Amino acid sequence: MPRYKLTIEYDGASYSGWQRQPGRSSIQASLEAAVKKFCGEEPVIRGAGRTDAGVHALGQVAHLDLSVSHPPDKVRDALNFHLKREQIAILAAARVDDDFDARFSAVRRHYLYRIQSRRARSILSQGRVWWAPRSLDAGAMHDAAQRLTGHHDFTTFRATDCQAKSPVKTLDLIKVETVGGEVHIRVSALSFLHNQIRSFAGSLKLVGEGRWTADDLQAALEARNRRACGPVAPPWGLYLQRVDYKQSDEKT
């Protein structure tokens, strides 16, 4: 069966998240409905990451198997036609090897968290950024964030209902910078715990406001206790930006 890799952009505001849920609108279910309208097939579409309700994607990756081979551009365009009433777009489709798996073949995931730091509340970016009416010190946030890089037990920054077998993860990169009046937190790793990035963002915001120091952030990490975490940032500032794979599995 031909396997296709999809690169997907979506606005997560109107969805209960990536994963299909009974009685709720999800990215996965909407994509599967579009596939059925396109070719009558009902494959399970598997994504690289299960984004939560309200979380957006600039470059989510998924794969699906079809029984009939179609040109990748036709798959992309046909799905976009059937998704025209959704807040979802297929940026690219490609044929891949049968052993390609959007989730398990991934070697790194990149996320972006956006905070709009200004006195006036956000209007045009509402639902796209976390508004912070107090000025944030992005430099202090960046310096403190480096305490989180490396191999750690991230229990403090893990949701209580997280289903990961272990709280130990390796954080490859975390960078905080000011971009056009916003504070951007960029994070990269092989995988993340449930609510890990939003927990980072909420705690780093305390640093940016001067309420926490880098030592406070490190103490929270070392506490390995969820109660030591700062407030969890809302989902609407979070974006799955890109997913990397070891080598190109795309067929020419």
pLDDT digits (tens, 9 = 90+) for 214-247: 999 999 999 999 999 999 999 999 999 999 998 7
Residues forming CATH 3.30.70.660 domain(s) in the chain: 107-241
> What pLDDT does residue 250 have?
60
Closest by CA to 53, choosing from 251, 249, 192, 238, is: 238
Backbone angles phi, psi at 235, to 5 degrees: -70, -25
Backbone angles phi, psi at 64, to 5 degrees: -150, 155
Question: Domain 3-104, what fold?
Answer: Alpha-Beta Plaits (3.30.70)
> What pLDDT does residue 113 have?
98
Residue 20 DSSP SS3: coil
Spans of the chain below 50 pLDDT = 252
The rounded percent of the chain whose pLDDT value lies above 90 is 94
- Among 11, 52, 77, 249, the active-site one is 52
Closest by CA to 250, choosing from 2, 50, 5, 79, is: 5
Q: For residue 52, indicate whether it is catalytic.
A: yes
> What pLDDT does residue 233 have?
98
The answer to whether 97 touches 6, Cβ cutoff 8 Å, is: no
> What pLDDT does residue 247 have?
73
Helix 72-82, helix 27-39: angle, nearest 10: 110
* The CATH number, out of the four listed (3.40.1190.20, 3.20.190.10, 3.40.190.10, 3.30.70.660), of the domain defined by the range 107-241: 3.30.70.660
> What pLDDT does residue 248 have?
61
Residues forming CATH 3.30.70.580 domain(s) in the chain: 3-104
Residues 6+ apart with CB under 8 A from 233: 113, 115, 130, 198, 199, 201, 202, 205
150 Ramachandran zone, left/alpha/beta (phi>0; psi -120 to 50): left
CA distances for 65 relative to 35, 60, 68, 155, 168, angstroms: 11, 17, 9, 37, 33
The answer to whether 181 touches 116, Cβ cutoff 8 Å, is: yes
